[in-house]
Structure 1
Amino acid sequence: MKSAIQHSSDLEEKIKKKIGLVFEVPLVGSWGSALSLSSSYAILANYSSTVENLVDASISDNTNSIWIIGSSLIYWAQKYAQQRMLNNLGFESHKIIWHRIRGMVWSQLYPTIQKEVKNNNPPTILVIHCGGSGIGNPHNTLKGLQMYMKSTIVNISQFMPKTVIVWSHILPRSKWTLCLSNNDGENWRRRINSALATFVVKKTCGACIKYPDILKRHIITLFRKDGVHLSDLGNDLFVNSLRNALGMFLSTTDRFYHTTTPTCTC
């Protein structure tokens, strides 16, 4: 049986030979410093199959790409990243592809992914930031919406079995137009985020991104006047979190960015 050190050396050599990646792993609160992927793996004392599977995915049928898919929040996040010359979020190892549909609803998610896969290989990582517009819909219940969203995640996972799915937490709003009260909207949002994050990680061996710095009490500074879309400062925090989280997912076995939830046992 190989020791942890031997396994570390073997995996490091595999990465050097088959990928040879160098990318930036950003640190929270800054845009980070450049690290080699092999050296970032070397700091781990023990390895799970998760890391090796992620490496294998990036050198098999999947292209070295990361898809970020969502509605207007993703549209404006990309605009902000472009203005800061960070359209690829500083990564050299993977190409960031932004799939943004303004006004996107959950029912558009799976068909959009199916359409994109017709012309492109599935990504190594798929970040999903969608679902907020369905909160409070009178045609559905909270439980019904959760079940519908989970079934979509299962379909995506089966459609792209080598892709790591990432749940990006729905952000707060100052007003939930479909809800009887804003408290109801926030309750739905929190419960959907909790349920979907847990489901994505435990059932698909995916990951999740939480944004603890983007809070409702900061609505005046982090959001535009509509209370839904982010200001420049809000987009800075959002894009920085995306960048940090993706760097973490690519370099460690941790699947929860900015949470203390137990790791996946897959």
Structure 2
Amino acid sequence: MLWDQLILMLYAVHACQQPPDIIVVHLGENDLGMLKEVELILSARRDFRLILELFPGINIIWSDMLQRKVWRGAVSKARRYVNREVATFLGTIGGTVISHPGIVYGAAELFREDGVHLSNLDAVMFFTDIKYGIRRCLGT
């Protein structure tokens, strides 16, 4: 999924379902390299504000963009920059950030052969991070 698809999906949720209590956003990795970092950051800020308007009282959780085995240099640096800026912004609006310190590109067993998609082991680590982030957000 690309970043610009998020709001369309949320409008559909808004139109036909009860508002969620929490939204976990894990996006942006597929946009890196196609959008400038600043564009991605501005989109995130705009869309997170819109989410708060659409769903008053919602808890927004940002799941940091993951490292990839196939990224090198500039894209990996952009990923870190976007993660840092989005996390800072979320702090100003009461959001929560989930980082994934155990998922690193140097651990070959954590990725499938394409170097992008997570192995089963890495998927378990990813969803464990998400689970603990949601619990932290809920205070449980």
- TM norm structure 2: 0.93
- CA RMSD in angstroms comes to 1.3
Partner secondary structure for residue 155 of structure 1: helix
Q: Does 1:126 align with 2:18?
A: no
Instruction: Count residues with an aligned counterpart.
Output: 140
Aligned to 1:186: 76
The alpha-carbon deviation at position 168 of structure 1 amounts to: 0.5
Mapped partners of 1:141, 1:234: distance in 2: 28
Mapped partners of 1:126, 1:237: distance in 2: 19
Partner secondary structure for residue 166 of structure 1: strand
Aligned to 1:261: none
Mapped partners of 1:201, 1:160: distance in 2: 18
* Structure 2 gap segments, 5+ residues each: none
Partner amino acid for 1:175? V
Partner amino acid for 1:199? F
Aligned to 2:121: 233
Partner amino acid for 2:135? G
Q: Any idea what the Cα deviations from partners look like across 1:69-105, whole Å, max 9, x if unmatched? A: xxxxxxxxxxxxxxxxxxxxxxxxxxxxxxxxxxx10
Greater strand share, structure number: 1
State which of 197, 201, 204 in structure 1 corresponds to 2:91: 201
Partner amino acid for 1:227? G
Q: Does 1:149 align with 2:72?
A: no
Identity %: 31
Mapped partners of 1:128, 1:189: distance in 2: 15
Mapped partners of 1:251, 1:200: distance in 2: 17
Whether the aligned pair in 1 keeps the contact of 2:22 and 2:60 (CA below 8 Å) is yes
Partner secondary structure for residue 132 of structure 1: coil
Aligned to 2:106: 217
**Greater relative contact order (Cα 8 A, min sep 6): structure 1 or 2?**
2
Q: Any idea what the Cα deviations from partners look like across 1:157-208, whole Å, max 9, x if unmatched? A: 22112101011000011224xxxxx211101100000011111121x21111
Mapped partners of 1:225, 1:205: distance in 2: 38
Structure 1 segments (4+ residues) deviating >4 Å: none
Q: Does 1:164 align with 2:59?
A: yes
* Structure 1 gap segments, 5+ residues each: 1-103, 177-181, 253-266
Aligned to 1:110: 7
Aligned to 1:3: none
